[in-house]
Amino acid sequence: MWTILLSVLATLLVAFVAMNLMSGEKRIQEQLERLYDTGDPQFRRSMSVLLGPPMLEGNRVQALLNGEQIFPAMLGAIQGARESITFETFIYWSGDIGDRFAEALAERSRAGVKVHVLLDWVGTMKMEERYLKQMHDAGVEVERYHKPHWSHLARLNQRTHRKLLVVDGRVGFTGGVGIADEWDGHAQDEKHWRDTHFRVEGPVVAQMQAVFTDNWIKATGRVLHGERYFPALGPADGQPAQMFSSSPTGGSESMHLMYLMAITAARHTIHLSSSYFVPDDLAVQALADAARRGVKVRIITPGPLIDADTVRRASRARWGPLLEAGVEMAEYQPTMFHCKVLVVDSLLVSVGSTNFDNRSFRLNDEANLNVLDTAFAQRLVDVFEADWARSRPVTLEAWRGRPLQEKLIEHAAALLRTQL
């Protein structure tokens, strides 16, 4: 009897693990054919049609560097809210920054603003319960995404990694920053991380709100709609932009497809800032092919100061074909490098929550903002150059010459790349 029971339990455990390790959807299996470059109108049409929402004219996107610029802008927008606040984030940890956001959100709720907060359960495990109580007591609607429950045991490995703040349906924020003291300051030492976030105005903010609403419905079954959340939005500036999302429950390949499309269409340059860079075979091939056809490809990843050393080791194991093709790799030295920015041909900028790894491409709920604007792209290239100056390049010779023990550890870590 006990043998049968143990066998059943073991079978259930294996099934549970298998369900959480697989995305459940077909993957892109072949390299994309290069039919156009980023300057071709067909590139913009393809991005709009294949990724879902259309590219909208009339937006203004501002880059914010590090916590000293990011947090005042976000908190200022929250404090100025009059109708609604929708806020979704992966990391929310206890500390001074967590205190300030909880108080700002609670104060606006007490003032009559409709405040909705969606927090990932795994990403907020370092968050004290007092924050939830403080917001809940003030009338904030707070939900924990995929908190363990028998009804969704098969989805416990699928997290919301999206980072979205929308105020009054008119101003949006997205990028890489989490709500924690590690992001405060200006990346001045190893305790203060380097990151970039973005403030957005214009018609594309409605798409950002729709992305939040997508997960809010999944978590609560409630629909947010009406002018309070989706007011009429006129042009704020002249930047074409598009906000799109991906999720294992629908469109899990959207992020992967976007990166492959952008890299395949590149004609001159690719600047990639990636906090967790563990590319799959198709992405490695796309980047290597771009370099071989004359595109200058440069990639910044974290150096030794990283919060997930296994990711860094798995990343370095994948660099051989890239370095052999002429891709330039460099590791950021001063502190943890948490940026997630792709700039192609000094024209396309893609920013948001997405890391260049399988977890972001196929397991997490992610959201990215695409902007087609040469002036904005050049601003991000300048930021990239400043980061490159604080990074250590890794040559093919140095990569090949690393100690055998290091190689073995890195290749062992790379075996886990489907979950990183």
Superfamily for the 26-419 domain: Endonuclease Chain A (3.30.870.10)
For residue 81, how far is the Cα from the chain centroid? Answer: 25
pLDDT of residue 58: 98
Q: Which of 163, 197, 218, 256 is catalytic?
A: 163
Copy the structure tokens of residue 205.
């903010």
Question: What's the token pair of residue 12?
Answer: 């259930």
pLDDT of residue 149: 61
Active site residue 192: no
Backbone angles phi, psi at 11, to 5 degrees: -65, -45
Please say if 161 is a catalytic residue.
yes
Q: Three-state secondary structure along the chain?
A: CHHHHHHHHHHHHHHHHHHHHCCCCCCCCCCCCCCCCCCCHHHHHHHHHHHCCCCEEEEEEEEEEHHHHHHHHHHHHHHCCCCEEEEEECCECCCHHHHHHHHHHHHHHHCCCEEEEEEECCCCCCCCHHHHHHHHHCCCEEEEECCCCHHHHHHCCCCECCCEEEECCCEEEEECCCECHHHCCCCCCCCCCECEEEEEECCHHHHHHHHHHHHHHHHHCCCCCCCCCCCCCCCCCCEEEEEEEEECCECCCHHHHHHHHHHHHCCCEEEEEECCEECCHHHHHHHHHHHHCCCEEEEEEECCCCCCHHHHHHHHCCCHHHHHHCCEEEEECCCCECCEEEEECCCEEEEECCCEEHHHHHHCEEEEEEEECHHHHHHHHHHHHHHHCCEEEECHHHHHCCCHHHHHHHHHHHCCHHHC
- In this prediction the pTM is 0.91
Catalytic residue among 116, 256, 338, 387: 338
Q: What is the pLDDT of residue 17?
A: 43
Tokens representing 415 are 């075996």
| Residue 338 designated active-site | yes
Q: In this structure, are residues 38 and 265 in contact, taking their beta carbons and an 8 Å threshold? A: yes
Render the burial of 39-64: b for 16+ CB within 10 Å, e for the rest. Answer: eeeebbebbbeebbbbbbebbbbebb
Does residue 340 carry a catalytic annotation?
yes
Contact 138, 106 (CB under 8 A): yes
Choice among 192, 256, 271, 340 that is catalytic: 340
Task: Given the residues 116, 146, 168, 387, select the one marked as catalytic.
Answer: 168
Told to judge if 126 belongs to the known catalytic residues of this protein, a careful annotator would answer no
Q: Which residue numbers in the chain have pLDDT < 70?
A: 1-27, 146, 148-157, 250-252, 420
Annotated catalytic residue: which of 116, 120, 146, 161?
A: 161
Please state the domain extents for the chain: 26-419
Question: What is the residue-averaged pLDDT of the chain?
Answer: 91
Q: Which of 345, 357, 365, 373 is catalytic?
A: 345
Give CA–CA dist 360/370, Å, rounded: 16
